[in-house]
Every structure is written in C-alpha cells, then in structure tokens.
Chains A and B, each alone.
Chain A
C-alpha cells in the first residue's frame, strides 16, 4: 500500500480533460513538500512531467498541468491525445519515509 494514494485507472475520450488525484498526509504533501508527476509510457522509463507542484520541464506540452492543495495534489491533462495513454505517478518527500511514490494511475484514451 503506497503512502500516496492515486486512483488505479482513469479514462477519457480524445480531446477531453482528465484529472488524476494524489492524496497524501500531513507528513508529506500536507507538510509543505512538493509534489511531482511522472509519465511512464509502456516499456519505457519514467519521465518527469510536472515538478514543484505546477512546473513543466522544457518540452512538456502545456496540456499538462499540476496543482496542490492541503494534503493532495492533482494532475490535469486537457485536449487528451492517444499518445497520452500511459501510467502516471505522483511523488513527494515524506518526513518519516523519505521519498514516496503514489501507486500509479493507468490512463486509457478511449
């Protein structure tokens, strides 16, 4: 069981908007530690998608955005595309267990 809780799966049609939640606690996200998001395409290594709650690395489309509130963080994807089908992971720092990941969310583009 992961310290950060994500829904196992989400889905959406092309062009739609989807959000993925990441629920933590007062020892990680709620303690003020940043949330980060990774995209893992099938058979590949994870790729940093959002860092510091709401920042995009160079090259990441602005269709991807992040937010944080209280003990939770969220990833939003607008204008859904077929190539967005992947696993998405949130990550933060936990004052008890150091680095923690969410269990991952599989995004299916219908």
Chain B
C-alpha cells in the first residue's frame, strides 16, 4: 500500500526558512516523479513544484521560483522542499503527491503538513 507522510511544517517568520520532507513507502520511489501541491486556508489547490524520477529535472510555479528548492533522495525514499525567503502568502497546507505513470495526474497524496508564515 502506498504511503506518503509529510513532516517539517510549523510556524516560521517572514523571510525565514523551513524544509519539508515526504517519506514514501509501498512503491518503487525511484521510478516516479513527485510533486508538492499547497492549499492556503479556505482556498483551492496550487501546484508548487515537481521533480523527475531521477531528480535531474525540477519544475517550479512562478510564485515560488528562486525561493523554493525541490529535491529527492532515492536511497532514502524521501522527497524534500526547501523553502527560503518565506512570505505570508506561503501559509498553506503542503501536500506531497506521487505522479501517475501514464499522464500528468497525481494518484496518491500525503495527509499534508501545515506551514504558517507569521511574525
């Protein structure tokens, strides 16, 4: 059974940094691209960043480009999101998600971790 468990969320001051982790199990992690999606309180889903199966290709939404860095450690079955220069508008639940193999969808999601950017 596929499991994705996020951790690392919390309260951070504007301009601060936080690193999220997503521990994966139940599938061959190194075979699949992975993604981070966030959801601000009471708002819709927003794609944040994606990484290829090997980690060699990374993609970012314009809203986080230059501030966030996605990475993965296939030996540890773990996905990361390094978030720097955080802003109030980064406050959200952050979900990691496993890419579908055949098309651009996400067939498994973690439970999410809450990031609050506030002074």
Interface, chain B (partner A; CB < 8 A):
35, 37, 44-47, 50, 59, 61-62, 95, 100, 102-112
Interface, chain A (partner B; CB < 8 A):
2, 33-34, 36, 38, 40, 44-48, 51-52, 57, 87, 89, 91-93, 97-104
Partner of A51, one of B37, B47, B103: B103
Min CB distance, A45 to chain B, in Å?
4
Q: Are B103 and A38 in contact (CB under 8 A)?
A: no
Min CB distance, A29 to chain B, in Å?
12
Interface of A, secondary structure class, is strand
Q: Are A46 and B45 in contact (CB under 8 A)?
A: yes
Q: List 6 A-B contacts (CB under 8 A).
A: A34-B103, A38-B106, A46-B106, A98-B61, A99-B50, A101-B45
Q: Are B61 and A45 in contact (CB under 8 A)?
A: no
Q: Are B111 and A45 in contact (CB under 8 A)?
A: yes
Closest A residue to B6 by beta carbon equals A45
Min CB distance, A30 to chain B, in Å?
15
List B contacts of A36 (CB < 8 A).
103-106
Assuming A51-B103, A99-B35, what are 4 further A-B pairs, CB within 8 angstroms? A45-B95, A45-B109, A46-B45, A101-B37
Q: Are A93 and B44 in contact (CB under 8 A)?
A: no
Q: Are B44 and A104 in contact (CB under 8 A)?
A: yes
Q: Are A99 and B111 in contact (CB under 8 A)?
A: no
Q: Are A48 and B47 also in contact (CB < 8 A) when A97-B62, A98-B61, A99-B35 are? A: no
Closest B residue to A89 by beta carbon equals B45
What is the bound-complex CA distance between A45 and B94, given in angstroms? 10
Q: Are A34 and B105 in contact (CB under 8 A)?
A: yes
Min CB distance, B9 to chain A, in Å?
14
